[in-house]
Each structure stands twice: as C-alpha cells, then as structure tokens.
Amino acid sequence: MTKGVIVPLESARLIEYAVPIACYICEGQNNFDAEYCRYCSAPMALAHQADKAKAPPTMVAAMGVSGVGKTVYLGMLMDMLSRSSGSTRLLARGAFSINLQQATVGSLARCGFPGKTPNEPDHWNWVHCQVRSAAMRKPLDLIMPDMAGEALLEEMDHPHSFRVIGSFLQKCSGALILVDAVKMLEGGQDQEFFTMKLTSYLGELSGRRGNEWAKRPVGIVFTKADQNEECMEDPVAFAKAHATGLWEQCRERFRVHRFFAAGVAGACAWRDTFDEGRVQVPLRVEPHGIVEPFEWLLGHLAKRRRGH
C-alpha cells in the first residue's frame, strides 16, 4: 500500500530567479543567489549590501606591481583603523571584509608576510567598510579590493582581459598607487615603468567614459620605506631623485596628488625554506605612515562630496 505524501510546490522561488540582481561593479545581471558575478567574478554580497545602503558606496583603488606590499598595507590599514579610537575609524561590513585583515595580521604574527594574491578575481579579498572621519559629516561606505598586480598588468597590456578591473577603475573616486622604495633605490625600473603605464591606462580609461581621472585624488605611497631613511624622511625628494619619470607623469596627469612613505616591518631578515627558497621575513611589526595616505584621500573625497 502506498502512503499519500503532501509535497509543497516551491514555484514561488521561480519568481526570485525571474528578477535579476545587478553586479555593483560591472552591472551584469545575475541570479539572486549567485555568490560571485558571472561576468566579472566580483562578490555579489557587494550588490546586496549596496541595495540596503542609504547612499551608494564609494570605491577606492589600491594598485601596484606584484610584490609591492598591497595586501600587507591594506590589511594593516584595516587593523589599525578598526581598533582606533581617534578621528578616523573603520567598521567592516560583511564577514568577507574581515578576511584581508585576518590574513595579514595572522601572517605577521607568525613572522611572515601574506601569500601572493591569486590572479583569479573570485579569490581576491574585497573590503566593504564604513568609515567615520572628522573630515566628513556623515559616515562613508567604502569598497576596496586587493587586486593582483599581475592581473592589473595584464589588463593594462590587453584591455578587457579582466572585466572587473576596468569596470571598477571607471567607478573609482580616488586611488592609492603603491611603489616599492627598496627596488626603486636599487635601480630597478620595473616599478617606475609599471606606474607610468598605469597612469597612461587611467587617462585612456577616463577618456572612454568622460570622467577624468585627472580630477580624482591620487596618493603615491612608497612601501617598505622603513628600510630606506632617505625615503622615510622626504618622499617627495626621493621621488624627484629616484623616480623622475613617475614624478613628471603625476605632475602632468593628476591635478591632485601627493607622495607618501609607509612601512610595516621595523626590521627584516632572510630565511631559507624548502618550498619557496629564500624568503624575506619580518622580525618585528612597526607600522609607520600607514594611515596618513588614507586620511589624505578621505579629506579630498569629503571635499568632492561637499562640492556636489
């Protein structure tokens, strides 16, 4: 004998799939339960959170060649501001926004640096946070991804290789460009060439949309400056002396720009490993100049908001 079973029809769920959700980065249409955008691989959590916000989040880019220290800088910036009781404070929105801070602080606590950021956008650490600052009357919702340097280079050389990068940079309100001060002092020109290509790419990118990057605030941050006293004391003079091409490009292309020096590790040493060979490790953590570039950027973003 077969027993009767009542099976509820879940046809109402089809209605949810019939209404697409636009990705906040590239505006591609996705299903309501998608974890990542099918077009650019950005987290769909950004779209859901932005939909609930009173004002659309502001986007800021942190860019630099692979190995320049973007992950360490952003992770340390989050950690310092999330624990701060000063004029600038940060509150993460969404559990995924804690990943970058957790990875950075955890690696430094184990006397190591975070691993290389993968090229795949769905493996990047995205930060969606609320920032309160004395420079702004109202809190600012901010989105900052930890983009892979190699992916950014590929996008500059072959536009549209990474849709998420082009879409994100078109909507950015400002940027922090990170440059390795140690390699710059050693005469390595890769840092300067990368940054010069990046400034050219941003100029062409804004031309396609009519939104000029020349008017957006851009901070140039010399990382690992704790290993270079000259850079730490006067980053502007360091740029003029060791990065003349970069200095001239910034003067020509960005009306609002400033040079900074930042460092996280007070001292470093080399360690031989079985899997990675000889790697550099931090002996102690002494952050310097981490918050200043970000606060400078926030100040100019506040001026632009008041201007509108």
pLDDT computed for residue 177 by the predictor: 95
pLDDT computed for residue 283 by the predictor: 80
Q: Kindly report the pTM of this predicted structure.
A: 0.89
pLDDT computed for residue 87 by the predictor: 85
**Rounded CA gap, 288 and 104, in Å?**
16
Phi, psi values for residue 28, rounded to 5°: -70, 150
* Residue 100 near residue 128 (C-beta atoms within 8 A): no
pLDDT along the chain (308 residues), means of 10: 61 64 93 91 92 85 92 95 88 90 92 90 93 85 94 92 94 94 81 86 68 88 88 92 88 92 85 77 88 94 74
**Rounded CA gap, 238 and 234, in Å?**
6
**DSSP string covering 103-129:** HHHHHHHTT--PPPPPSSGGGS-EEEE
Token pair 């502001």 in the structure block, residue: 58
Q: Tell me which residue of 144, 161, 158, 165 sits closest to 70, measured CA to CA.
A: 144
Domain 53-307 sits in CATH at 3.40.50.300
pLDDT computed for residue 204 by the predictor: 81
**DSSP string covering 90-107:** EEE-SGGGGHHHHHHHHH
pLDDT computed for residue 51 by the predictor: 82
**Rounded CA gap, 166 and 159, in Å?**
8
Residues of each domain in the chain carrying CATH 3.40.50.300:
53-307
Query: Taking the CB of residue 237, how many other CB atoms lie within 10 A of it?
Result: 12
pLDDT computed for residue 7 by the predictor: 57
